[in-house]
Structure 1
């Protein structure tokens, strides 16, 4: 399941997408990374990595960057010196409220994640690496989606025809055929499809939409304009949290 992809479209920004950061998350993130087509990328160079299972240690803990996978991530950042650095994560839907809770600052030392919509969460990357390895103008984002149980199988694609994910997308890019559309209730991280009013298909669409925005934009200004138009309230929160953690002049994205 370990995966690497390099897209060279000439002169332009350098982008680094990383999935499978810890635990079993790579089982969910790999299909999204595979589903980005060549035309979805901007000019420049894009490097994509998705890793196999590793012990779960939070990236907001120093211990993570002392592990083999943590050191690998740091080495990739140093090697590519990206203008865009995107971490793809997934989470247990039962932890949703904790992840977006204002109390997360007090309990974890970091701001809560921001719900864009449909349980897709966004934040900066770990404060442990944001200032140390990146320039202020670098776009550094963490994207989270509820994890998917890859042991299930999608039995019926007939109604998946709206939004960003279509039957043609699935057939062409092999996007998440292992998800059971008609058996979501058995998902190991979504035992009840009414947990937190979670809708897997809507979440799926939103997550891929944001990934494609990040793969397509060429500059910070372009990304911010799109996000302000689509998610004005969420951007306000991002500005607030960036000031709290990084200081007044630090950008929200």
Structure 2
């Protein structure tokens, strides 16, 4: 077991490796705007975890204080930061992918709006607890992964990020991905810990992808 701090494509990241072979996992935050200010402390803590399985690549902040381009747009993946993300995914070939974002209080209603699929073309997020939202990743990016890969977006409330309670709740979610060996174990743990919100999120996923993919 070991922790390395690396620089890949100009991006600071941590690599946790386990002696026994296992799935590659990518945890990334700070994809645009100033979100890295809020995601980095959480992912820095995740990199210090002592219990994990497989290979974990942890990127506390992909960019710092860059212009905001939404990840739902094709333009994002043509930008410098989007191309770096695609290169990192191509290099490490993660089977688990966790994307950490941070949102402003006024955005809560928009992100959780049941009509979001009509307005933005993607399902709305589900409130897991205390304003921590979960959903799948952008469809454009989901196509880079296989049917059996596990891909989750977590939206953290900016105005609560300073709270130890909120940080710990987000880490609880991320630790599930960090410590489980396969997607079945991950889903089993999520369903056990968060039965109601996970059931809702799964239903939205199945409706959107018409059962072509496994959640998430």
The alignment's TM-score, normalised by the length of structure 2, stands at 0.88
Q: Is the 8 A contact 2:104 2:159 kept in 1?
A: no
In structure 1, what is the equivalent of residue 16 of structure 2?
7
- How much has 1:126 moved relative to structure 2? 0.3
Is residue 2:77 matched to residue 1:65? yes
Which residue matches 1:119?
131
SS of 1:39's equivalent?
Answer: coil
Q: CA deviation at 1:215?
A: 1.1
Residue 25 (structure 1) aligned with residue 38 (structure 2):
no
Matched, 1:211 2:174: yes
Distance in 2, matches of 1:31 and 1:202, equals 13
The residue correspondences of 1:122-137 to structure 2 (distance < 5 A) are 122-131=134-143, 133-137=144-148
Structure 1 window deviating more from structure 2 (18-27 vs 204-213): it is 204-213
Give the drift of 1:40.
3.1
- Number of residue-to-residue matches in the alignment: 202
Per the alignment, in what secondary structure is the counterpart of residue 115 of structure 1? Answer: strand
What do you get for the CA RMSD once the two structures are aligned? 1.7
* Per-residue deviation, 1:53: 2.1
TM-score (norm 1): 0.75
| Partner of residue 100 from structure 1, selected from 91, 100, 112 | 112
1:55 matched to 2:67: yes
> How far apart are 1:3 and its partner, in Å?
3.1
Gaps of 5+ in 2: 1-10
Partners of 2:16 and 2:210 lie apart in 1 by 34
